[in-house]
Amino acid sequence: MTPSPPSRARRILATLTRHAGTFSLGALFLILTNLLALQIPRLLGDAVQLLRDAETLGSAFDLDAIQTLALTITGCAVAAAVVRILSRIFVFNGGRLIEFELREELFAHLTTLDVSYFQQTSTGDLVSRLGNDILFIRAFYGFSLLNIVNTLVAFSIVLTQMVQVDPQLTLACLLPYPVFFLTMGLFTRALYQRTQDAQATLADLSARAQENIAGAAVVKAFGIQRQESEAFRDLSERYVHANLALARVRGALFPYMGLIPAMGTLLMLALGGQRVVEGHLDLGAFVTFSGYLVALAWPTAGIGWALMSWYRGTAAFDRVFQILDARPRIHDAPDAQPLPLGPDGRARGEITFDHVSLTYDDGTVALRDVHLTIRPGERVAIVGRTGAGKTTLLQLIPRLRDPSQGQLLLDGVPLQRISLASLRRRVATTPQDPFLFSTTVEENIRLGLLARDAEPGDAPPSRLSLDDAVRIAHLQDDLTALPEGLQTLVGERGVTLSGGQKQRVTIARAVLLDPDILLLDDALSSVDTRTERHILEELKTLMQGRTCILVTHRFNALELVDRIVVMDQGHLLEVGTHAELLALGGHYARMVERQRIEAELEDA
């Protein structure tokens, strides 16, 4: 079902082909730049030769010719500048465009991956791959390409021109270049490896710092600042050492690059000098040759840079492709159909857990053979101790996870056969950990509705207004207390809401969707009992005829539900009404008993 991902080379080429226009233009301008810029050494040589001839032969000195040469140099320089600007803009913009597209592709892909993926991958890692690795890929397409083309073009132009003047000398002058290329390659490899080491150390350092900052409250509360500082100091020291290893290579590389043109001049002095003395070579040609050899220095070194961004780029490609190749485990089956809706445009809301089991990747068993049918419009509470599998059970319904065995049916249709979008449009969830985006309170509440408005689909409009949702979630008083009411920014760049406030915003968010199935995963734990009661009673009216499942640790809400499900260690222990379960005298009865005794104690 999942075809093996295309190879790296194929992908790189495909991207290049897509931007063939931009890069071809860039290459064309690059060729023009070199053609124009490399005229200058020859023109210089000609000028010197003119002067030399005037001196030795005493021939009439042609000032006009010299001035023409000077003007030609100026013309070449101006034209070269124009095409050089264009070539860099085209090539670098091309790289930026690829970066842009890759980011888009990655982000879009991330939105398709499921909960289990994000649980396995740290946020920092993903952010770093989208942050740093993409930069290397951009450099791969922009910088590396620029250098490779530039080197090829410069060498072919220079060689053609040198051979015309003196093939023998050309050959002699080129002798050390294989050595230059080889050493540049070696330098680059060492540079790359040591950069990698330094980067890895930096990653450790950053991870450590990130946690320290994110956990500032704990660090302070436990007074462990000094240990933290010392650990950071040690990591810093490791980073310094990695950097110094890098500095030794880098320190040699830059002077080495300066060495290359100097070696060219040296060669010319030794080989060309002799030929000039012997009369085999004009002084003008000598100057031209020297100019060419100096002009070749940058393209020679450029191969090193190209190699560097090649190494980095390919490694970065692999890391980025790892993300792109991660297949969502939860996705639409090819035969997925929209959720069948009744004449009122709503799902009936019958949920069947058909012998469902779920084992996490780390081997933890979360659900064991859960068999349960929740009737349309039923209100069910799931109780049980921590780790019993309550949250996991809820996550199965909007398919945040899929069961390892067994299946779920909604209104008699297996969930796997229902398209994800149509399923999630009818199910609203308030998760255990309330998560708000750093935008206004209003946008946080309208989150689902905004999305639905963008893709209306077949859902009937919500019967509720924003005000209703605010009222049901008991947010009106909080909103008046906030500096800008509904428009107050929350989260990272705004006001920090209390845990209870956050939970109530997420409730408003879910309620506003007017869903057919409402899932509350311990959504009121940080809300005081009185407010909780208000909310639940409002919900009771609102959710008339809608299926509602709530996970709870508090028993004061349980008289508001039709049935209670008791879970432990992934097992479904008891199912029934409050009265039935009490009569059963099992787990539930014991839990209630415990709370009753507690209440008695308090009364005493």
Q: Which one of the spans 147-155, 169-177, 187-195, 260-268 is the region binding another protein (CB under 8 A)?
A: 260-268
Shortest distance, CB of residue 7 to another protein, whole angstroms? Answer: 27
Among residues 27, 30, 37, 306, the one that binds another protein under rule CB under 8 A:
37
Shortest distance, CB of residue 408 to another protein, whole angstroms? Answer: 16
Among residues 9, 18, 107, 342, the one that binds another protein under rule CB under 8 A:
107
By C-beta, is 357 or 526 nearer to another protein? 526
By C-beta, is 299 or 431 nearer to another protein? 431
Binding mask 198-217 for another protein (x = CB under 8 A): ----x---xx-xxxxxxxxx
By C-beta, is 7 or 74 nearer to another protein? 74
554/533 Cα distance (integer angstroms):
11
Among residues 131, 338, 340, 545, the one that binds another protein under rule CB under 8 A:
131
Among residues 228, 332, 354, 468, the one that binds another protein under rule CB under 8 A:
228
Shortest distance, CB of residue 134 to another protein, whole angstroms? Answer: 10
Is residue 436 a contact partner of residue 502, using CB atoms and an 8 Å limit? yes
Among residues 10, 18, 220, 371, the one that binds another protein under rule CB under 8 A:
220
- Is position 489 an interface residue for another protein (rule: CB under 8 A)? no
- Is position 55 an interface residue for another protein (rule: CB under 8 A)? yes
Residue 229 neighbours by CB distance under 10 Å: 11
The residues in 134-153 that bind another protein, with binding defined as CB under 8 A, are none
Dihedral over alpha carbons 546, 550, 556, 561 (to 10 degrees): 30
Half-sphere exposure for 108 (CA within 13 Å, toward CB): 6
Sequence-ordered list of residues with C-beta below 8 angstroms from that of 569, at least 6 positions apart, any chain: 365, 368, 387, 388, 389
Strands 427-430 and 413-414: unpaired
Q: How many residues bind another protein (CB under 8 A)?
A: 175
Q: Which one of the spans 310-318, 339-347, 411-419, 498-506 is the region binding another protein (CB under 8 A)?
A: 498-506
- Is position 302 an interface residue for another protein (rule: CB under 8 A)? no
The residues in 554-583 that bind another protein, with binding defined as CB under 8 A, are 555-556, 558-559, 578
Shortest distance, CB of residue 68 to another protein, whole angstroms? Answer: 10
The residues in 274-293 that bind another protein, with binding defined as CB under 8 A, are 274, 276-279, 283, 286-287, 290
- Is position 402 an interface residue for another protein (rule: CB under 8 A)? no
Residue 225 neighbours by CB distance under 10 Å: 12
Q: Look up residue 176 and give its two tokens.
A: 């050390």
Helical H segments across 268-400, by residue range: 273-278, 283-325, 390-396
Is residue 481 a contact partner of residue 498, using CB atoms and an 8 Å limit? no
The residues in 499-538 that bind another protein, with binding defined as CB under 8 A, are 499-500, 509, 513, 522, 525-526, 528-530, 532-533
- Secondary structure letter of residue 418 according to DSSP: B
- Is position 175 an interface residue for another protein (rule: CB under 8 A)? no
40/75 Cα distance (integer angstroms):
10
542/549 Cα distance (integer angstroms):
14
- Is position 160 an interface residue for another protein (rule: CB under 8 A)? no
The residues in 60-79 that bind another protein, with binding defined as CB under 8 A, are 61, 63, 66-67, 69-71, 73-74, 76-78
Q: How far is CA 273 from CA 158, 167, 588, in A?
A: 20, 16, 102
Shortest distance, CB of residue 278 to another protein, whole angstroms? Answer: 8
- Is position 337 an interface residue for another protein (rule: CB under 8 A)? no
Specify burial of residue 488 (Cβ count, 10 A radius: 0-12, 13-18, 19+): middle
The residues in 87-106 that bind another protein, with binding defined as CB under 8 A, are 88-89, 92-93, 96-97, 99-100, 103-104
By C-beta, is 248 or 355 nearer to another protein? 248
Reported for 463-470, long-range contacts at CB under 8 A and 24+ positions apart, including other chains, are 463/514, 464/511, 464/512, 464/514, 464/542, 466/442, 466/512, 468/511, 468/512, 469/445, 469/508, 469/509, 469/511, 469/512, 470/445, 470/508
Q: Tell which residue, 369, 345, 343, 338, has the closest CA to residue 356.
A: 369
Q: Beta strands of 6-46 (E only): which ranges? A: none
